[in-house]
Chain A
Amino acid sequence: MDVTLEHYLVVSGVLFSLGLLGVIMRRNLLVIYMCLELMLNAANLALVAMSRYNGNLDGQIMVFFIITVAAAEVAVGLALIVALYRRRQTAHVEDLTSLKS
């Protein structure tokens, strides 16, 4: 079987949807972070596949930048979790209810 662009796009679409589902449904902040990463990596997969399909390297160059930015994003996110955990001893989203009108 030939693996074509469509296959890659379907896989990346599925990964993106799984990530989105995880962000919406999971309750643990760390798992939510992983799902966010999954969404970004779905975009990475799509970019690499499209780059190959289009016959230029722009997409692959973008992927390198995205990986770097994602790492920075995780660093900030984990720092936020630590800041929250120090005050509240929790990493669950249902406990984040102190902001109300």
Chain B
Amino acid sequence: MSYLQLLGLVAPETIVVITALVVLGLDLLILREQPLRHRFWMGAAFAAFGCVLAAAWLLFINSPTHPAGEVSGALPLLRGMFVDDGLVRLVKVALLGLTVFTIAISMESSFTGHVGEYLALILLATVGMMFLVSAEDILMIFISLELTSLSLYILTAFNKRNVKSAEAALKYFLFGGMSAAFTLFGLSLVYGLSGSTGLREIAAKLEQPALDPLLVAAIVMTVIGFGFKVAAVPFHLWAPDAYQGAPTPSAAFIASGSKVASFFVFAKVMMLGFAHAGGSGSWHAYAPGWLPVLAVVAVASMLLGNLAAIAQSNVKRLLAYSAIAHGGYALLGILANGPSGVTSLVYYVVTYGLTVLGAFGVVGLVEERAGEARISDFAGLGRREPLLAFCMMIFMLSLAGIPPLAGFFGKFYVFTAAVGGAKDLGLLWLVIFAIAMSAVSLYYYLQVLKQIYVVPVSAESGSLGAPISSRIVLAVIAFGVVALGCAPDFLVGRLLAAIKLAAL
């Protein structure tokens, strides 16, 4: 295989990298003298164009019709360093879509003067996520994870005028660095046990009935590392602080894009790499392995996330705790441990990412006006800003899982996958617990909606003066949430078709 072919394989990523560099150069050389708003518009338009181009490439240009035929020619050479099949391509397109929306909601913000750097970092983080989704090799997973994380740390610290931003970034960095070390140590043990860095080869080598104590240590450490990444309890401590202190678009990106990529690779490592060390988390047929470990983590996340969210007065912190709880639900998709689990997981995290992106968009507009994002700052939003309030209602109800919105079908698929995933309905206890917990979650989402629609407007607060472009973007996201909920088959059908060929 020549370098040209290699470049053709990673063309979408290359497009995004080139876009990042061009946006950086454009801003530094040509747009320097222009007013901030103008620079943001030009840069954002170009960055979004690059993402759309990459997505179009993924969708239309030599898509692998049969991955076993086309990609297996590449697999031995790259040894799973870069996998390109229908499922991976769908997830990448979703990631690029989330990136475009993130760029769109940051277009009117004024927290930074370094527009080029900001957009370039978002794009580089996206490249990291795209490689992460493609990786089936320890080395590649680690490097793309770090590329994503390092970009996200800087994005968190991007508001240099606000002391909270730097503090949030430091906490995020410290926990993230620790998580990287844990992941690496766990994976290095796995390498030692199997003598290979490819996930599929590892699974083949580790095929033995008894659990090696070293393998147990490796599994636990890997779960800890990825648990930090997806903010599952008890590794969630960074999330509320990072979400609260980060500039709102950055927080939205951490909550949406990075969640999608991390969960996908988490599922891949567990299901592919540790395929024979699953054990069982069933109520009556417990067996050691990674499934019971993840079951405990999922229960803790749902419990603590939902209960702590009730006590929050800041909407960004509330969304952070709700993200922890949603991480718990999404773990059920991994626990289902099979094709239906992966399908439901991807549908769940993609729709969740879209919803939370919209919610952060509204929060950002309120914050821009009020200076903070306390729940009381939303009082009377229904009168002041009918359209934004309606969008926020859709996002909140979708997060709570009310039909016919996307959040409901996400939960529905994940729960059914989990029930069917274990023998004799073994995971039913977990699903019942999850359903009870999502009833609890309705309370705090409705608290926000109560402020918006029921609490009367105070005299001095008028309309938010939100720019028309932000309104349009948020309306489009809200429409997407409703549409994905009304026609879930649009995404699920494609995922199922792709997963049949992907052999995950």
A binding-site residues for B, Cβ under 8 Å: 5, 9, 16, 19-20, 23, 29, 32, 36, 39-40, 42-43, 46-47, 49-51, 53-56, 58-59, 61-62, 65-66, 69, 72-73, 76-77, 79-81, 83-84, 87-88, 96, 98-99, 101
Q: A40-B180, A99-B164 are in contact. List 8 more A-B contacts (CB 8 A).
A: A39-B185, A59-B191, A73-B180, A79-B154, A80-B153, A84-B166, A99-B240, A99-B241
Indicate which residue in A65, A84, A96, A98 contacts B143 across the interface (CB closer than 8 Å): A65
- Interface status of B31 (Cβ within 8 A of chain A): no
B binding-site residues for A, Cβ under 8 Å: 138-139, 142-143, 146, 150, 153-154, 157, 160, 163-164, 166-171, 173-174, 177-178, 180-182, 184-185, 188-189, 191-192, 195-197, 240-241, 244-245, 311-314, 317
* A101–B319 alpha-carbon span in the complex (Å): 12
A52–chain B nearest beta-carbon distance, Å: 10
Indicate which residue in A39, A46, A59, A76 contacts B173 across the interface (CB closer than 8 Å): A76
Measured CB to CB, the nearest residue on chain A to B321 is A101
Q: Are A23 and B178 in contact (CB under 8 A)?
A: yes
Measured CB to CB, the nearest residue on chain B to A64 is B139
State the majority secondary structure of interface residues on B: helix
* A32–B176 alpha-carbon span in the complex (Å): 13
* A83–B405 alpha-carbon span in the complex (Å): 42
When distances are taken between beta carbons in the complex, the residues of chain A under 8 Å from B241 are 99
Indicate which residue in B166, B196, B317 contacts A58 across the interface (CB closer than 8 Å): B196
Q: Are A59 and B177 in contact (CB under 8 A)?
A: no
Q: Are A39 and B240 in contact (CB under 8 A)?
A: no
Q: Are A43 and B185 in contact (CB under 8 A)?
A: yes
Measured CB to CB, the nearest residue on chain B to A87 is B163
A-B contact pairs, 16 of them (CB 8 A): A23-B174, A29-B170, A49-B192, A56-B195, A62-B139, A65-B143, A66-B142, A77-B177, A80-B169, A80-B173, A81-B170, A88-B163, A88-B167, A96-B167, A99-B168, A101-B317
**Contacts known (A54-B195, A87-B166); A76 close to B184, Cβ less than 8 A:** no
When distances are taken between beta carbons in the complex, the residues of chain A under 8 Å from B143 are 65, 69
B200–chain A nearest beta-carbon distance, Å: 14
Measured CB to CB, the nearest residue on chain B to A29 is B170
Q: Are A16 and B142 in contact (CB under 8 A)?
A: no
Counting chain A CB atoms within 10 Å of each CB, the highest count among B160, B163, B164 belongs to: B163
Indicate which residue in B169, B245, B313 contacts A101 across the interface (CB closer than 8 Å): B313
* A47–B196 alpha-carbon span in the complex (Å): 11
Q: Are B173 and A77 in contact (CB under 8 A)?
A: yes
**Contacts known (A46-B189, A62-B138, A99-B241); A40 close to B167, Cβ less than 8 A:** no
B397–chain A nearest beta-carbon distance, Å: 24
When distances are taken between beta carbons in the complex, the residues of chain B under 8 Å from A79 are 154, 157
B418–chain A nearest beta-carbon distance, Å: 31
When distances are taken between beta carbons in the complex, the residues of chain B under 8 Å from A29 are 170
Q: Are B170 and A42 in contact (CB under 8 A)?
A: no
9 smallest CB-CB distances across A and B, nearest first, come from A50-B192, A39-B181, A54-B195, A43-B184, A84-B166, A87-B163, A43-B185, A99-B241, A83-B166
Q: Are A73 and B170 in contact (CB under 8 A)?
A: no
When distances are taken between beta carbons in the complex, the residues of chain A under 8 Å from B197 are 58-59, 62
Measured CB to CB, the nearest residue on chain A to B167 is A96
When distances are taken between beta carbons in the complex, the residues of chain B under 8 Å from A84 are 163, 166-167, 170
* A62–B160 alpha-carbon span in the complex (Å): 35
* A12–B291 alpha-carbon span in the complex (Å): 27
Q: Are B163 and A65 in contact (CB under 8 A)?
A: no
Q: Are A16 and B185 in contact (CB under 8 A)?
A: yes
Measured CB to CB, the nearest residue on chain B to A72 is B150
Indicate which residue in A5, A62, A98, A101 contacts B311 across the interface (CB closer than 8 Å): A101
When distances are taken between beta carbons in the complex, the residues of chain B under 8 Å from A42 are 181, 185
* A81–B139 alpha-carbon span in the complex (Å): 28
B258–chain A nearest beta-carbon distance, Å: 16
Q: Are A98 and B163 in contact (CB under 8 A)?
A: yes
* A32–B189 alpha-carbon span in the complex (Å): 24
Q: Are A73 and B150 in contact (CB under 8 A)?
A: yes
Indicate which residue in B138, B154, B185, B312 contacts A76 across the interface (CB closer than 8 Å): B154
Q: Are B160 and A83 in contact (CB under 8 A)?
A: yes
Q: Are B139 and A65 in contact (CB under 8 A)?
A: yes
